[in-house]
Amino acid sequence: MPKTLVLSKRCTETTALVQRVAGARRVVAVTGAGISVNSGIPDFRSSDGLFRQIQAAHGGLIAKGRDLFDASLVFQSAQTADIFYQWMTQLRRQCASARPGVVHHFLRQLADRGMLQRSYTQNIDGLERKAGLAVWDPYSRKDAPGHVPWQEAQSVPLHGSMDRLACQLCAGSFPFSEQPNAAIIAGSACADCVQRSETREASGRRSLPAGKLRPTVVLYEEPHPHCEDIARIIAHDTRALGARRAAGKADIVLVFGTTLKVPGCRQLVKQLAMASPDTTTILVNNEPICGRAWDGIIDYQIVGCVDDWCKRIQRQWGLQTKITRWARPRKSISVTRKENSLPPRADASKLSQKRGRSPDIDATTAAGRAVDRNVSKKRRVSQEALAQPSRRSVRIAIRESTEHYTRSQPLSVCI
């Protein structure tokens, strides 16, 4: 059974996990609806989630809220299909007005640090794109501006997105506008099908049926239209996790905000976790959900808020940055003296041109005079300091009394 740690309790093992993730080589993230709740988008299975809301509003027509997202049930009658389009339009408006949360920005930071191998999301809200991640869109043409090939994609939506509408008959796709008076809305007739039918009628042939537009999301009990492409991406990331890693660096699989009840998502987590015996798999959720079935697959389940977990890793990154700045090497005395005593070569060259002498001779002479002036000045300072001895003045006097050694044997004292 995976080891359970409570995030709110102080624990050295939790701190060690945070440090391990902060210093990881590669991170693959699998996210669910829980990461978008704080952005104002409801999840599906909680007590006040989308399933409960649908059942409360349409209990006479829909037995369970899940049935509205079941492809084998929702399109059996025009009435349930209209309810589906209505809820999808409402959800689209919520997604359009939502802003990325803490986890979305955390994923962006992983990508900026070069640590994010891929982020797989079950969400359809498109907040990863708003956070600045490169999102793979299977409906985007290769020659379209902003097209992201799967090799360069940082985020892969497993269940589609609410950004586009697709015809159920001809598979044509259109942008999904959140405006209430938009010409193309969910449930409307496909413009391509209508134009094709009108062209046939104008030539004296029979008309063709027009398909209805629905969001490009994958429903229950329907085949995934892009399963082969996603399988190729998952296989690529699995090989990357199984490759040899650098000493002291770890590969991490993070699972955020999901109950792992969708079969495809369960299989994805198992495949990524088993890519290498050295891969550490961590699940973070508000409540414990892993039993013995996840033994040997998920190593740790963190019970607590996903946002708090990400903030702890961000604080660890900030601490590492402060330590790096503090430990930056400092200049030695010999380097500092050389920088402060030698004048620029260009000044000596200008001086030689005025006097009509060789630039090399004048540059050497000017540098020597500058050193003599600095030595004389420092000797005067050391003599004045000896009149009132102190620990620092004694050190200065010792250094200046051995000034003639610094040219051939630089001091190794740091300041």
Active-site annotation, residues? 159
Beta-bridged to residue 255, according to DSSP, are 30, 283
Distance CA 218, CA 245 (A): 36
Which of 283, 410, 224 lies closest to 335, judged by CA? 410
Distance CA 379, CA 398 (A): 11
Concatenate the DSSP letters of all residues of 139-153 into one string: TS-TTSTT---TTT-
Distance CA 159, CA 44 (A): 14
Tokens found for residue 276: 């290498």
Distance CA 184, CA 190 (A): 8
Concatenate the DSSP letters of all residues of 270-283 into one string: HHHHTT-TT-EEEE
Tokens found for residue 274: 């088993």
Which of 236, 257, 231, 240 lies closest to 27, judged by CA? 240
- For residue 383, what are the contacts with CB-CB under 8 A and spacing of at least 6? none
Distance CA 5, CA 27 (A): 20
| Cβ–Cβ under 8 Å, residues 137 and 161 | yes
